[in-house]
Structure 1
Amino acid sequence: MRKKLRVAAYAICVRDDQLLLARWIDDDGRPEWTLPGGGMEHGEDPYDTVHREVAEETGYTIEITGLLGVRSRRHVSRRRFGRTVDHHGVGLVYEARVTGGELRPEIGGSTDMAAWHDLTTIPDLNRVGLVDAGLKLWRERPVTGRATQVQE
């Protein structure tokens, strides 16, 4: 079984009771909303990763105002040719505020749109579990950096 570790950094940006989200297309071609952010490049600090990813996916520059916590998720799946992959994703979730730039879609990347969404409408969106996990960290602000379990 192949083991794969992915470390990523994401931003929770809430402004005027709205959350900034980016939209990506899943493996089945369905659009899903997610937190702006993504995978670290080798040698990159996660603090720098979240700045880079938010700028790429939304057009905004941000200021990090805190580290909310860590989301660790593991799942085993079958890939092409019957190969099994044990995937472990570790995501650092930062709180941030927009300091500049203009909202725009990512060009040639993993997302195709970015938008602000009212916090009350988030449950109605087609979204990845990371959105709920990040919002839970933002609301609970656990001193351990680990929110209570979120169903996925």
Structure 2
Amino acid sequence: MAYRLEYSTWLEEDGVRVLGEREAEILRLIREKGSLTMAAEIAGMSYRQARDLLRDVECAAGARVVATRQGGSGSALTERGEMLLTEYECRARRLSGQIRHLYRNPSFSADGIVIRDDQVLLVRRGKEPFAGRYALPGGFMELGESAEECVVREVEEETGLRAEVLDLIGAYTRPDRDPRGHICTLAYRLTVRGGSVRAGDDASEAAFFPLSALPELAFDHRRILEDALRRCGRREGQG
């Protein structure tokens, strides 16, 4: 099922609604067609409905927004009507741009490298992408937590181990590193302080694997692990 974000915008003054999208549409059409009757027809409402909407706007704004043209033929926006419509359109465009920009921003995650006795801690992913493949424990940062807090939390949730951050291995920011979108991750080396290995959260399995016999890893986690091993002066398969 595909979902789409919907939202409404309107201008307020002292907590009173003055102009929303429906009223703005009528004003735009009056500006374009020069007729309230034509504006109402194009907008799919009766003349009376359109007139009542404009009366509500005028009551809230304290001024006329539409007037009869000179000569009595057709309608036109007043100076106040033009000002309100321009203000609404400018603010609505700016908000729309901010929302589009918001949904283009990268997301952030943190991944943990726990090496013990020439073995590395891995989890089997229980969800797509890469369901069934092994990966380093980790996950998305939550609002209000640091990357270090995130990786400690994710390691415990997915593996049952309480761990402490030793150092930062690196930041991995390639836009194509995750099929879900542009997700940047910070990878940390950790040491175990307690707990016992048990799978939890999104992981269907958690276990230590010998560095000499690693399974295929999801995402770019092979590269992350290699960077961590270089940091601590090791190579895969070397004690």
Q: One fold, TM greater than 0.5?
A: yes
User: Who is 1:8 aligned against?
Assistant: 109
User: Who is 2:29 aligned against?
Assistant: none
User: Who is 1:45 aligned against?
Assistant: 146
**Cα pair distance change 1:76/1:92, threshold 3 Å:** closer
User: Who is 2:211 aligned against?
Assistant: 119
Matched, 1:132 2:226: no
1:44-68 CA distance string (max 9 Å, x none): 1111101110000000001111111
Q: Secondary structure at the match of 1:3?
A: coil
Give 2:194's match in structure 1, choosing from 74, 92, 100. Answer: 100
Matched, 1:90 2:184: yes
Letter in 1 for 2:104: K
Kindly indicate whether the alpha-carbon contact (under 8 Å) linking 2:109 and 2:147 is maintained by their aligned counterparts in 1. yes
TM-score normalised to structure 1 length: 0.76
Pick the structure with more helix per residue. Answer: 2
Larger radius of gyration: 2
Percent of counterpart pairs with the same letter?
32
Letter in 2 for 1:9: A
**Cα pair distance change 1:88/1:68, threshold 3 Å:** same
Kindly indicate whether the alpha-carbon contact (under 8 Å) linking 1:31 and 1:126 is maintained by their aligned counterparts in 2. no
Q: Which runs of 5+ in 2 are unaligned?
A: 1-99, 232-239
Kindly indicate whether the alpha-carbon contact (under 8 Å) linking 1:62 and 1:99 is maintained by their aligned counterparts in 2. yes
TM-score normalised to structure 2 length: 0.50
